[in-house]
Structure 1
Amino acid sequence: MAQFNPQFLVQPEGMIQKQRMFTFFLACLGIAVLVSMLLAVCLGSAKIAPGDAYRIILAKVFNLPLNDIAGPVSQAHLDIIWQIRLPRVLMSAVVGAGLAVCGAVMQAAVQNPLAEPYLLGISAGASLGATFSILIGGLAGVLFGLGTAVWAFIGALAASLFVMTLSGIGGRASPVKMILAGSIASALFIALANFIVYLSSNAEGVRSVAFWTMGSLAAAKWDNLALPAAGIAASCIFFLTQFRILNTLLLGEETAITLGIDLARVRQLYLVITALITGLIVAVCGIFGFVGLVVPHVARGVVGADHRRLLPAAILTGAIFLIWADVLARIVLTSGELPIGILTALVGAPFFMYILVKHSVHFGGQ
């Protein structure tokens, strides 16, 4: 009988060192998120010292007497930090993390390094659903007051199914067919949304719809933060447990089928969850293009393609990216606020061109 060799339980020193380096890297990203949030609440038309902002947040979170912790603080600064900037910064972190994990999962699920909610038409579908809810309304309006969020999810799910169905016609879906189907879906759903806007006589509703097309975090408040935060947090936790399946999908459909993975069911499940995340984001903040494309590739370039490392790195990087994108949107213009969707497109479009030109893009291996 062969004797048991306990050395098989010992990890090579290089693997242990690599894991320690990754853990340290994640810790640095986590600290960077917290520092970014603290600095972000201080920046804007009214600049506030980081120490004052920290003491205000500490007093409000732990329900402590404000003057005992923060010292003399004006009511204006208190309202700016707690009622306006902190919910907005938290929303930017949540949305950035959600879009990043959507991009990483979609790129693996459809085996396409260019996949993300904006390019595959999912954001356009969610925007159509939100436009329909605002200007026309429907039965979803009575569901716990979540009409816009429900219709945005329905639109995102419809776009996902449309892209998967169209790209699968005439044979197996390919990366090129997925991008072409996404372009068709974007054009179709945006045209339908514009048609609804054109026929509407609701001037206030039309102005609200303009918000969805450019994206902004200005509407972030404490009362509309809980739903997207809970949905995105639950989705991120779920996808963090799916790293083995996501890694297998990168090896190709034949390998995944050989290992017993039901590709159709897995893709449907992942697309439904990413549609849910996209719908929640669009319902509250509008369309942010290219975040789900840029952030996963940046994280992949640092930590590799293994989703055990890629997903947590992308989540934290996405939060940092959108926090500072929102800060830039608030301070770049002295006369007002620049829609954040414009900034993400200005960053993402050149990155998209780079990926198209760089045919040797690193995607499926370490």
Structure 2
Amino acid sequence: MLKYFRETGYLFICLLLFAILLLAFLWALSIGTVKLPLAQIYTVIVNQLQSDLPVEAVGRSAAHDIVWLLRLPRLVLAAAVGCGLASCGVIMQAIVKNPLADPYILGISSGASLGATAAILLGVGAALGENFVGIAAFIGAFCISLAVLFISNLGGRSNSMKLLLAGMALSAVCSAFSSFIVYFANNKEGMQTIAYWMMGSFAGAKWDNLAVIVPIVILAVLFFWSQSRILNLMLLGDEAAVTLGTDLHIYRQVYLLISSLIVGFVVYAAGMIGFVGLIVPHVVRMLVGTDHKKLIPVTALVGAVFLVIADGLCRIIIPRTELPIGILISLIGAPCFVYLMIKRTYGFGGN
């Protein structure tokens, strides 16, 4: 009977979060410099779905362009980014068995920053098109992930400690090269662009990019959900897992590569957004416990809700100005993290 109530409570939480996500979408679509009624938003979306015109077609009406081309794509991107970062936070914390782990802990953020810095100040990858900064950041993040795997396997098989040390070393190297480029480039406008990119933004969301990013995030989350047993074993440690007949080495490499792929796409589409992959998994553990079968889907939904609401707030906190989402997330995330640290009833693993 107790198990039945636990399963029912878990399903209720999932359905409640999904309903909150839909309400957050409607709220965020209606606010901004131009306020729109929900009936008009509904009409625009239904007409677009029934139309044969291209997704990116402009000029049908002012309301259409605002809802379908500006607000809805950025909200879908915010949901995908929140879902991806929160899920990757869960995976990284299991891989390295560290409650302070987030999607960027293994040097991925420094690799992305180096790629973006080289693209902005040196013009690296300019031939790749208008999104060359994001592409360069994606390449930098993914290359660092491969380098972390390679270095951690030198001199023996990798483990959580070797992964952390390799990530810290490569992060320092990438930061040094980024500082070197900034120092010698002497480009004030370029440095402002880098600073803005580091704060994160969903303003550049386009349906063409979302057609790639959203399916990848969803498939990755579903894959991690199917691996809940292995992720639970990772919290027990390699020795306990081997005793139970499972070698975690290959799984750890695969999970890290998939997480890096998601983070790379997130960085490509929205820049650097911190704290989501660190705070959300801890909060969800307090609600549903440590079983990854329940933890992953709830974390993904909470991450999506969090960033959709945060993006809406960024557009209304300062009138006629959009606050970079990284600033708002840091203002919310840092106090929450301090609270979790001093809360005596909470520990990694939900104990």
TM-score, normalisation: structure 1: 0.82
Within the candidate set 53, 62, 65, 1:79 is matched to: 65
- Paired with 2:120 and 2:216, the residues of 1 have a C-alpha distance of 22
Instruction: State the partner residue of 1:27.
Output: 15
Instruction: State the partner residue of 2:330.
Output: 345
The 3 A distance-change label for structure 1 pair 242 and 139 is: same
96-105 or 161-170: which moved more? Answer: 161-170
| Structure 1 runs of 4+ with >6 Å offset | 164-181, 201-204
CA shift, 1:358, in A, is 4.6
CA shift, 1:52, in A, is 1.5
CA shift, 1:197, in A, is 3.6
CA shift, 1:283, in A, is 1.2
* 1:321 partner amino acid: F
Instruction: State the partner residue of 2:29.
Output: 41
- Paired with 1:344 and 1:168, the residues of 2 have a C-alpha distance of 35
Instruction: State the partner residue of 1:282.
Output: 267
- Paired with 1:137 and 1:227, the residues of 2 have a C-alpha distance of 25
Classify the secondary structure of the residue corresponding to 2:118: helix
- Contact 2:116–2:137 under 8 Å retained in 1: yes
Q: Find out whether 1:224 has 2:215 as its counterpart.
A: no
Within the candidate set 303, 321, 324, 2:288 is matched to: 303
- Contact 1:126–1:278 under 8 Å retained in 2: no
Classify the secondary structure of the residue corresponding to 2:205: coil
- Contact 2:87–2:299 under 8 Å retained in 1: yes
CA shift, 1:322, in A, is 0.3
- Contact 1:127–1:282 under 8 Å retained in 2: no
The 3 A distance-change label for structure 1 pair 358 and 165 is: farther
Q: Find out whether 1:126 has 2:112 as its counterpart.
A: yes
- Paired with 1:357 and 1:184, the residues of 2 have a C-alpha distance of 29
Alignment map for 1:1-366 (pairs within 5 Å): 13-63=1-51, 75-136=61-122, 148=133, 150-160=135-145, 185-200=170-185, 206-358=191-343, 361-364=346-349
- Paired with 2:199 and 2:179, the residues of 1 have a C-alpha distance of 14
- What is the percentage of aligned positions where both structures have the same residue? 46
- Contact 2:149–2:253 under 8 Å retained in 1: no
220-229 or 155-164: which moved more? Answer: 155-164
- Contact 1:251–1:364 under 8 Å retained in 2: no
- Paired with 2:115 and 2:19, the residues of 1 have a C-alpha distance of 37
CA shift, 1:35, in A, is 1.3
276-285 or 144-153: which moved more? Answer: 144-153
- How much is the aligned-residue C-alpha RMSD, in angstroms? 3.3
Superimposed CA distance per residue, residues 266-288 of structure 1 (whole angstroms, 9 cap, x where no aligned partner) = 22111111111111111111100
CA shift, 1:124, in A, is 2.5
- Paired with 1:134 and 1:363, the residues of 2 have a C-alpha distance of 39
TM-score, normalisation: structure 2: 0.85
CA shift, 1:297, in A, is 1.0
- Paired with 1:190 and 1:227, the residues of 2 have a C-alpha distance of 29
Flag structure 2 segments of 5+ consecutive residues without an equivalent.
54-59
The 3 A distance-change label for structure 1 pair 176 and 21 is: same
* 1:16 partner amino acid: Y
* 1:127 partner amino acid: S
Aligned length: 345
